[in-house]
A and B are shown apart, each in its own frame.
Chain A
């Protein structure tokens, strides 16, 4: 599952959401946020489609841009 960059959401907000939703520590959440900011996307979760879809939906309620990409 990928989180994509947007010019609106604050960097601190993205870190906070990733920490809340995935339980990441600050350093991990910050690493993903910087990938999103600098590379436009970050792979934040790899699991079954059902679980990944659940997380995409949760991130969408937080107004982040998240998509699924199939492995292989």
Chain B
């Protein structure tokens, strides 16, 4: 089991959930575009893409399961390791989609370093960037529990 500790009011969880749902809906049937596909084998390419799509759907289901749990955000929260893995993968997929669809004007270097003043962004972008940061923070919290050495980075 992986235990994290997080205190966040239910209204904020609901607002995040709503935003995440929109992003997941926008991903739809399409897995995040793969950087590599096998060559010259239509059956393998189809199976490859189907598997990525199914994997993403499963991961997003884990994320919604966690976010909709009444105990989430109210202090200590335990989850199975496979749920934590799926949640982290879903967070990455959603952050990638948020970056492409709602934060395209932000420089890569600013995203990487976090050297960005959120209040300077238009209000709609502020909400998406806050969601982006929250999902990254959630990943960090889980990584700290799963692999404390990684947290030193």
Contact = CB atoms under 8 A, between A and B. Distances in A.
A50 B100 CA distance: 31
A45 interface: no
Interface string B50-94: 011001100000000000000000000000000001001100110
A22 interface: no
Interface residues of chain A: helix, strand, loop or mixed (majority):
helix
The contact size tier of chain A is 20 to 34
B122 interface: no
B36 A56 contact: yes
Contacts, number: 73
Interface in A48-72: 53, 56-57, 60-63, 65-68
Interface residues of chain B: helix, strand, loop or mixed (majority):
helix
Contacts of A61: 51-52, 55-56, 89
A10 B89 contact: no
B99 A7 contact: yes
Interface stretch (B8-16, B18-26, B135-143): B135-143
Interface of A: 4, 6-13, 15-16, 19-20, 26, 30, 33, 53, 56-57, 60-63, 65-68
